[in-house]
Amino acid sequence: MTRIQGLRRPLLTTAAPVVQVSGPTVAVPMTAVDRRRVRRRLIAPDGTELRLALATGTVLQPGTVLDVREGVSYVVEAAPEDVAVVYPGSRSETASVAHAIGNLHRDFVALEDGDAFLALWDAPIELLLTRLGVSFAREQRPFHGRPSWEHEAGGGEG
């Protein structure tokens, strides 16, 4: 593995594998933006400081182990974010909304039940959904898509 001078532990690869953990865990809530910030310090909910120095392009997935200290695993969790929950009434309405949101260079993520979709909330999304007349609600939920700035910058590293 690659090492940056002065680090005590090797870098994660850009794949950031999700592994099974045993023993106690501390969930570290991270937003879509946070999961793409590759070099930073953060404080876990138990007060432990974690220092990230990940390879450029790394995207942390929920379930990724950030560190293990004294038998405690620090695991990434998708934090609730301000999102638009969109409830299209038909397949054609879904396609229309997905196309319009895509034109804003935003991700439109399907929920597991397939009846609703999520987009990160902001004023242009609210205006668009209102103009399209689609049913939607503003809620706090985990978002697994890319943040809007990532589309604008061509993928940026965070």
User: What is the span of the domain harbouring residue 73?
Assistant: 1-78
Answer whether 143's CB lies under 8 Å from 81's CB.
yes
Confidence at residue 149, expressed as pLDDT on a 0 to 100 scale: 60
Confidence at residue 139, expressed as pLDDT on a 0 to 100 scale: 97
- pTM metric for this prediction: 0.73
Residue that finishes a domain, picked among 18, 47, 78:
78
Is 157 a member of any domain? no
Confidence at residue 30, expressed as pLDDT on a 0 to 100 scale: 95
Same structural domain, 20 and 3 = yes
Same structural domain, 1 and 70 = yes
Q: Compute mean pLDDT per 10 residues along the chain, 158 residues long, and list them.
A: 47 52 89 89 94 89 90 94 95 95 91 90 95 96 80 44
Same structural domain, 132 and 145 = yes
For the chain, how many structural domains are there in total?
2
Confidence at residue 18, expressed as pLDDT on a 0 to 100 scale: 58
Confidence at residue 24, expressed as pLDDT on a 0 to 100 scale: 93
DSSP assignments along 110-139, one per residue: EPTTSS-EEEE--HHHHHHHHHHT-EEEEE
Tokens 């933006």, residue located: 33
Same structural domain, 10 and 38 = yes
Same structural domain, 114 and 137 = yes
CA distance 82 to 117: 13
Same structural domain, 24 and 88 = no
Closest by Cα among 91, 58, 90, 88 to 76: 58
CA distance 19 to 75: 10
